[in-house]
Each structure stands twice: as C-alpha cells, then as structure tokens.
C-alpha cells in the first residue's frame, strides 16, 4: 500500500513592508511564534534579497534551528543569520555598527527572569544601529542594587525598564531620573501576578508622571517606542 504523501505547506504570498524603513525609520520584524519555520525562512529571505536587516522574534531554539536549516537548504550562506538564544530572535549577521555619536539606551531589568524580554529589546535596537546598556538584577525588592546604578543610568538618553511581579521598577526609575522611561511588564510572578497582568496594571496606574507603558513581554514594541523618541527633533534624527 502506497503511503499518503507528506503534507505540504500552503503557498505563502509575502507582502513585506519594505518601505517601513524609509517611512518610519524602522525595519519590519517577523513575529515568529505562530508562523511555521518555512514561512519565517521565506520572510527572512525576502528581506535579505531587498538588502534589509532581518529580525524574527519569539523563536524557541528548535524552531530557530529549523529556520536556519531551511535557509541553508535554499542555498544561503549559514553565517548570514544568527540565532540569539537569550532574546529568542534570529537577526541578520553582522548587525549594523552602533552609531558612536549616540549614547547607549539603558535597558533595566528587575531580575534574570526578565532577560528574554530585555534581550529582545536590545536586539531590536541593534538592528537599527542603536547600542544598549543592559542592567540586570536591580529589582525593587533590593532597592540598594538599583540606587547603586543611578550614576550609570543617568548617562543614558532613555530607559527601558522590564519587570514582572508587581511591576514597580519603571515607577521608581521615573520618579528618580528625568529621561523618558518605557515600562515593559513581564509575564513573571506568582499567583495573582496573572501572567504579567498585575505588572501591566501597576505600570498603567503609576503615579510617576510621563511613564510610557507597552504590552506584556513586548520588548520589541518598547524598542520601537524608543526609536520614535530618539528620532524626535528635540533629541536628534534616526540615522538610517
């Protein structure tokens, strides 16, 4: 008896937003969590052929390996892309050189459990030639750890603060430092933390004036908000 044919992936008609960089100063990112390895590989290939930086987010290691294997099978040099396990992203390699005229954006995280979200933000900035300074394990449960980093943080033009549990870190930073602060609630915490809902609502209810908040685990979104702020006339243009 002849075995049934292997199922094939449906044809994907890609409509990549190749004008996003010229229109908004941002490269298009590929949401990888709910796409197949073949779909992600096709999108990265399309960006590469257009001469643009490729960024695919939310990829577990096994899917990332399948994407890179698929790209190699299409005849691409395997060194063209790199998987960053901490940030769960595939990015073009090498990434653009950071602009030496810009100070690094500070990405602050309450604990090492927030690392994947913080790293996603860092990689998204790196795709645009923006350096970042990753400051980990300075959650408010040990406030002295954060206070010991304030001089370092004052040098940054902008802060991205990632925190789970009750999500107090961005509020504390926005109450101590004058730069723009972007809060990223992280889906880490016990019981009523509810997958980041408590952190999200705490940040939205913050009494610190001017705190900006993005969605749960949205490191990429925080990086794009940072790019918009950095590109404002008061701070300076984004260099494409």
Task: State pLDDT tens for residues 167-196.
Answer: 999 999 999 999 999 999 999 988 888 899
Choose one of 29, 62, 92: the last residue of a domain: 92
Residue ranges in the chain modelled with pLDDT below 70: 1-12, 232-240
Which of helix, strand or coil describes residue 220? helix
Task: Give me the pLDDT at residue 14, please.
Answer: 77
Does 187 lie in the same domain as 136? Answer: yes
Give the dihedral sign, CA 146/147/150/152. negative
Find residue 135's DSSP bridge partners.
108
Specify the number of domains making up the chain.
2
The pLDDT tens digits of the residues spanning 66-107 come to 999 999 999 999 899 999 999 999 999 999 998 888 889 999
Contact 218, 118 (CB under 8 A): no
Domain-embedded: residue 147 = yes
Task: Give me the pLDDT at residue 73, please.
Answer: 92
Does 111 lie in the same domain as 65? Answer: no
Does 163 lie in the same domain as 88? Answer: no
Does 124 lie in the same domain as 29? Answer: no
Domain-embedded: residue 235 = no
- Print the domain residue range for 37: 20-92
CA distance 212 to 206: 10
Does 195 lie in the same domain as 115? Answer: yes
Domain-embedded: residue 1 = no
Does 109 lie in the same domain as 86? Answer: no
Choose one of 92, 120, 144: the last residue of a domain: 92
Domain-embedded: residue 141 = yes
Domain-embedded: residue 122 = yes
Does 189 lie in the same domain as 86? Answer: no
Choose one of 92, 127, 150: the last residue of a domain: 92
Task: Give me the pLDDT at residue 24, please.
Answer: 87
Domain-embedded: residue 131 = yes
Task: Give me the pLDDT at residue 123, please.
Answer: 96
Contact 70, 63 (CB under 8 A): no
Cβ burial of 34 (10 Å; 0-12, 13-18, 19+) is: exposed
Question: For position 140, which CATH number holds?
Answer: 3.40.50.1970
């Amino acid at each position: 008896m002849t075995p049934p044919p292997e199922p094939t992936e449906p044809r994907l008609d890609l409509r990549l937003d190749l004008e996003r960089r010229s229109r908004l100063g941002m490269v298009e990112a590929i949401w990888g969590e709910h796409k197949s390895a073949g779909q992600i590989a096709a999108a990265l290939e399309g960006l590469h052929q257009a001469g643009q930086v490729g960024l695919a987010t939310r990829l577990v290691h096994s899917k990332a390996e399948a994407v890179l294997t698929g790209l190699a099978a299409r005849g691409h040099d395997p060194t063209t892309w790199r998987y960053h396990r901490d940030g769960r992203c595939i990015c073009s390699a090498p990434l653009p050189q950071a602009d030496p005229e810009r100070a690094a954006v500070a990405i602050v995280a309450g604990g090492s459990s927030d690392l994947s979200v913080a790293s996603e933000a860092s990689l998204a900035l790196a795709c645009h030639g923006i350096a970042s300074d990753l400051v980990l394990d300075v959650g408010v449960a040990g406030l002295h750890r954060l206070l010991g980093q304030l001089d370092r943080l004052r040098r940054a033009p902008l802060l991205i603060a990632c925190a789970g549990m009750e999500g107090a870190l961005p509020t504390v930073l926005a109450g101590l430092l004058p730069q723009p602060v972007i809060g990223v609630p992280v889906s880490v915490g016990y019981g009523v933390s509810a997958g980041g809902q408590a952190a999200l609502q705490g940040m939205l209810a913050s009494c610190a004036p001017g705190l900006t908040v993005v969605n749960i685990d949205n490191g990429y979104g925080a990086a794009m908000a940072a790019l918009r702020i950095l590109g404002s006339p008061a701070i300076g243009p984004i260099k494409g």
